[in-house]
Structure 1
């Protein structure tokens, strides 16, 4: 038996996504000249290798590469500065994790994202799954990586090099010996930013720094009801026999969808799962002298990635791609007095919706 399920989902939900536009910004070139312009705000996850800009909304689009940009900013949410630096490129997954405690240094030039401004600047370097934090002090002409590294011993035990705690202790509390706030500090943007905030408060209670970490956005979880109308096609051909039958019946279903929206690229990427239960009308018929009946109800679990496309301010499309598992429940096929087992179905899918 060959079973093909085509599901057309009717989705009911309310979204809050931002469209990628050219927004007011600036960049400073190698001669120190500031150019105010409109920059295409891609809400970069990785450190950008270039920017697209215009001087008017209808003007020609121009490109500036890393080598041409000393600094740039878009609105109040994205600031980047170019540095030449050494970065630890040690692997972060078990598959390629190092057996050495010391960093594996590589010299790079990149635009680092500014997380905090003030007496102490915090920067973020991100390249796929590699995330590193950097710090600078006045006059902020060079950066130093905050060192954190996981490494293996004996192929099974993971150790940590937490030297970044000592680095921050020396920079934020010179001449002091207290380590309570540093001993359990985690190598995360949230924890490091909070620590800098605590030690960047003047005697009058005024902050001596600006926190930009919250401008990037956060992950969002969406829930929505899912109704489905499916066409289920059954095609059966008995081996070594001319006996066969083919039927199509609609199936109705209901369920829920959970979508985790990623906090980058203007929330255009997400992961979703939409478990639902579908019920098909019973099939009964005769093929020659042979009778048959089919009852098919199933739990369907599609899961995958989603990308949103903004055609204009009101019209949005999205593309899904992933895998779908169909698990029969209360289902049976019988013909000529015999009962057949319906097995689970697992296949890939892709499609566009709006």
Structure 2
């Protein structure tokens, strides 16, 4: 069983090279201010890029352009990056790496900045691993960083330089924007995007909110009934129960990670399952009665491989973090305890609504004991192969 599943997973993973992170209609502007329409490979960058891959036409060879040769590039109606030499403060946000200097410590760098809101006032972002900085410009003025810096005070406490609020209040004044709004601004994308949208609206200027254009469905709640084929082997009475059919029902909460074209997600799924059997073993006169009912709590990660606009293959791995066993669960007169367990699955999702998955929950240690003899436990192993049907509510 393990070899077959490993083989299938290997095939699916190998298909990843053909899965869609597609080339989309875009453009770039070179150092001679020439605009070239092309197809750009949209990687939905989590960190600001220093290069990108493009094709001049659909069937042509792909090439790369770097920050040295491109002033600007974008994907139509989706995203835009501009090259700029800016002063950036790279002070860490981690307490153990903070200095005692309240002022931002700038260094000049040439970067691709991502345009978040473009208008009379424009908001940009720069992300590099754990570093996030925001920049702004007004009209054709130079791009400046919105200053936010943590530091260690003389009292050995963490202080915060929120100069970005003064910058916005001084440079982006409008009658509809009150001082309290600026005073309560957080140095985060959602607050700053909303502020720049409000300012451009207040001044009756046309603007483009790229973040609004890129809004994605970042949460799915899916009901997941399933058919289980379970097996139990134990040294108790030489038990060997194979491929016993049962049913289960789960509710999966999926949190889509907002980068890399929505190809990664985190999962939490409570699942009701039951395993009930009455069966003779090896011609014995005694029957083995199994009644194992529980709510399993699993957490995991999923990776999508896009086939087309409506269909995508996925693979996932999960960890059984807790098993809430019903009080009625027992194996003959023995009480049941289980342990952590890892599962693997692969499946198909259609139209972001319907899905089917095959999941293998590997050998799980199941310990059997009586209430009067807890020092002795019968060793057992329990495993399940499931076919899971899914319907996403939203």
Decide: shared fold, TM above 0.5: yes
| Residue from 318, 324, 327 that aligns with 1:327 | 324
Q: CA deviation at 1:71?
A: 0.5
Higher helix share: 2
Q: Does the 8 Å contact 2:53/2:62 carry over to 1?
A: yes
Query: Alignment RMSD, CA only?
Result: 3.1
1:290-329 matches, within 5 Å, as 292-325=288-321, 326-329=323-326
Q: Does the 8 Å contact 1:327/1:345 carry over to 2?
A: no
Tell me how far apart the structure 2 counterparts of residues 169 and 214 of structure 1 sit (CA, whole Å): 24
* 1:278 lines up with 2:254 in the alignment: no
* 1:147 lines up with 2:147 in the alignment: yes
Tell me how far apart the structure 1 counterparts of residues 285 and 225 of structure 2 sit (CA, whole Å): 39
Distance 1:169-1:57 versus aligned 2 partners, 3 A rule: same
Match of 2:344 in 1: 350
Q: Number of paired residues?
A: 324
* 1:232 lines up with 2:253 in the alignment: no
Q: CA deviation at 1:291?
A: 5.3
Q: Does the 8 Å contact 1:321/1:350 carry over to 2?
A: yes
* 1:71 lines up with 2:72 in the alignment: yes
Match of 1:123 in 2: 124
Q: Deviations over 1:35-60 (max 9, x none)?
A: 11111222222212321111111111
1:190-201 matches, within 5 Å, as 190-201=190-201
- Unaligned residue ranges in structure 1 (runs of 5+): 1-5, 7-18
Q: CA deviation at 1:162?
A: 1.0
Q: CA deviation at 1:347?
A: 2.2
Tell me how far apart the structure 2 counterparts of residues 227 and 149 of structure 1 sit (CA, whole Å): 50
With normalisation by structure 2, the TM-score equals 0.73
Q: CA deviation at 1:155?
A: 10
Match of 1:41 in 2: 42
* More off after superposition, 284-293 vs 228-237: 284-293
SS in 1 for 2:145: strand
Q: Does the 8 Å contact 2:91/2:98 carry over to 1?
A: yes
SS in 2 for 1:274: strand
Tell me how far apart the structure 1 counterparts of residues 245 and 219 of structure 2 sit (CA, whole Å): 32
* More off after superposition, 70-79 vs 121-130: 121-130
Q: CA deviation at 1:317?
A: 0.2
Q: Deviations over 1:165-217 (max 9, x none)?
A: 0111222139xxx7333211111223223323333357xx6225433231221
| Residue from 305, 311, 335 that aligns with 1:341 | 335
SS in 1 for 2:337: coil
Distance 1:299-1:137 versus aligned 2 partners, 3 A rule: same
Q: CA deviation at 1:286?
A: 4.3
Match of 1:207 in 2: 205
Match of 1:23 in 2: 24
Tell me how far apart the structure 2 counterparts of residues 153 and 343 of structure 1 sit (CA, whole Å): 52
Q: Deviations over 1:323-353 (max 9, x none)?
A: 123333232123xxxx433223212333321
Q: CA deviation at 1:22?
A: 1.8
With normalisation by structure 1, the TM-score equals 0.80
Tell me how far apart the structure 1 counterparts of residues 87 and 217 of structure 2 sit (CA, whole Å): 30
Distance 1:281-1:153 versus aligned 2 partners, 3 A rule: farther
Q: Does the 8 Å contact 2:43/2:261 carry over to 1?
A: yes
- Unaligned residue ranges in structure 2 (runs of 5+): 6-19, 349-394
Match of 1:10 in 2: none
* 1:251 lines up with 2:243 in the alignment: no
Q: Does the 8 Å contact 1:151/1:160 carry over to 2?
A: yes
SS in 2 for 1:296: strand
Tell me how far apart the structure 1 counterparts of residues 79 and 132 of structure 2 sit (CA, whole Å): 17
Tell me how far apart the structure 2 counterparts of residues 251 and 194 of structure 1 sit (CA, whole Å): 51
Q: Does the 8 Å contact 2:270/2:297 carry over to 1?
A: yes
Distance 1:221-1:154 versus aligned 2 partners, 3 A rule: farther
| Residue from 260, 266, 280 that aligns with 2:255 | 260
Q: Does the 8 Å contact 2:278/2:290 carry over to 1?
A: yes
Tell me how far apart the structure 2 counterparts of residues 228 and 138 of structure 1 sit (CA, whole Å): 58
Match of 1:223 in 2: 221
